Chains A and B, each alone.
Chain A
Amino acid sequence: MTIFQFALIRSLRNKILLLLLYAVPLAMIFIRPLWTSENSMGFSFYAMIIMFAAFSLVRSIMSDRITGTVVRIFAAPVTTLRYFFQSLCAFWLIISVQIFILVTAGTVLYNWEVGMAVRLTFSYVIFTVTAIAFSLAWDSMFRSKMMSDSVFSIVTSFMALLGGIFIPIAMLPDFLRNIGMVFPVYWVSKSLLSVQGQETSSNYWLSIFIMILFAAAFLLYGSKRRLE
């Protein structure tokens, strides 16, 4: 598990990333109106934070590819599967710890039921997998970090807009909702609505299943070995 340990240490060494990963969500959980009102947007805002955190973490794989380090890594007896699996597991663990801390804090502060907390955690954890897979697929399409960053910020703005983050899904016209369904953010919003009791339970499991399918598709695309 060398690669796993190394990816973990490398990610945690970045102070700004740690701030984004732990300080921002923990600050957010203390803003009561975001979590307790009728149309509380805190749950969906946190999903966007997970997306950004996953993107920042997976960039280390992209910088490996751009700097040519990946050529040296693959000169060692390491299979592509092992390299990606261990790196992505490390990133998933970092974000999952953050999710666990946040949900625990929320349960203590706002008296969330255990069932709701478990479903919330599960929803976020699956979305983390999808977000990491998406970031992997995204990074594999670009050769320069600057280009990747600029286009990502635009695309995530659209994803947030059409995926029920800034505007509740119910307020979106059908035409835009259909476009939004192409983004995984839409499905995490839907699952969060189920957790909050505004959608049925079958929709919850459907959203989870669709997020898993998205993750599979992104992983298949992003995990091809690209040596430059």
Chain B
Amino acid sequence: MMWELFRLNFWHYLRRLSRDSFGILIFVALPLILVYVLSLVGAQNTEGQIYFHGYNMVATHISVGMMLLFQLNGGIYLLNCLNHDFIKPMKWRLNASPCHVYMSVFGAVAACLVFTVAQGILIVSGSTLLMGAYWGNLWITIMVIVIVSTISQLLNIILLLCIRNLSAAEYMSWFLAWSMAVLGGMMFPLPDNAFFRFMRQYGTPFSLARNVIQESGFLATTSASMWNSIVMLVGLTVFLAMIIVLLGRRKLG
């Protein structure tokens, strides 16, 4: 029974998400175009060697950052679904259904997760095939995409539970994702002191995920740093999930 309900919710949300073609364009086509443009600019202005073992290192660096940024922003889909179904007047209709709120939320989270992971995989494939980016061990990369998407979904649920207003929550989500990218050194060079060095290496999920991807291939000599980062990412995911269980009981139940 529970499995049937979950399945129903999952397919409903997945179908709803796949109808938004504009969203797919923004989350897949836009990052690929940006990676292409920025790697052209980077290739023009870089002094070092661009190609290494047949891979375009400029494109690699930019595409990893861009993919992670868009994955962290992917929780906005979930924000919109949850807002529409549980905060707007539609919530009274859903409350009248024989399906518990938790089951609907699980279904929504699962569907959004699958959707954003699929988009992430498309970005990885596109940048590899079209621009020669290097993604290290692909299984590890996919695992990182799943974990980062999960973190993004959980973060957005927390934002929606705390800030009941959709546009404010969206701005906050967008701001958090971009701050993580900025602190990870993706936009412009940051001052060289201990705090910024720490944030760039281990301080945000963005930096941790980037470490894992970059050190899963031939770019790293040992895999210790990679496993450390993976453990930290999983730990963060569990921590966010526990916060949601606590908050969710009070706010949504």
Contact = CB atoms under 8 A, between A and B. Distances in A.
B40 interface: yes
A172 interface: yes
A154 interface: yes
B79 to A, nearest CB: 15
A167 B41 contact: yes
Contact of B41 (A150, A154, A158, A173): A173
A192 to B, nearest CB: 19
B44 interface: yes
Contacts of B8: none
A172 B30 contact: no
B26 interface: yes
A202 B93 CA distance: 67
Contact of A176 (B26, B34, B40): B40
Interface in A38-56: none
A158 B26 CA distance: 13
Contacts of B37: 158, 161-162, 176
Interface string A156-174: 0010011000010001110
Main secondary structure of the interface of B (DSSP, over half): helix
Nearest to B33: A158
B22 interface: yes
Given A150-B22, A154-B26, A171 B40 contact: no
A171 B40 CA distance: 10
Interface residues of B, number: 11
Range for the number of chain A residues in contact with chain B: 10 to 19
Interface in B42-57: 43-45
A144 to B, nearest CB: 12
Contacts of B34: 161
Contacts of A154: 26, 30
Contacts of A171: 41, 44-45
B26 A173 contact: no
Nearest to A173: B44
Interface string B18-35: 000010001000100010
B22 A176 contact: no
A14 to B, nearest CB: 15
B133 to A, nearest CB: 18
Nearest to A174: B44
Contacts of B45: 171
A176 B42 CA distance: 12
Contact of A175 (B22, B26, B38, B40): B40
Interface string B142-172: 0000000000000000000000000000000
Which of B26, B30, B38, B41: most chain A CB closer than 10 A? B41
Interface in B171-211: none
Given A154-B30, A161-B37, A162-B37, A172 B44 contact: yes
Contacts of A173: 40-41, 43-44
Contacts of B22: 150
Contacts of B44: 171-173
Contacts of B40: 173, 175-176
Contacts of A150: 22, 26
A172 B38 CA distance: 9
B59 to A, nearest CB: 14
A150 to B, nearest CB: 7
Nearest to A162: B37
Interface string A92-121: 000000000000000000000000000000
23 contacts: A150-B22, A150-B26, A154-B26, A154-B30, A158-B37, A161-B34, A161-B37, A161-B38, A162-B37, A167-B41, A171-B41, A171-B44, A171-B45, A172-B41, A172-B44, A173-B40, A173-B41, A173-B43, A173-B44, A175-B40, A176-B37, A176-B40, A176-B41
Given A150-B26, A176-B37, A176-B41, 4 more contacts: A167-B41, A172-B41, A172-B44, A173-B44
Interface of B: 22, 26, 30, 34, 37-38, 40-41, 43-45
Interface of A: 150, 154, 158, 161-162, 167, 171-173, 175-176
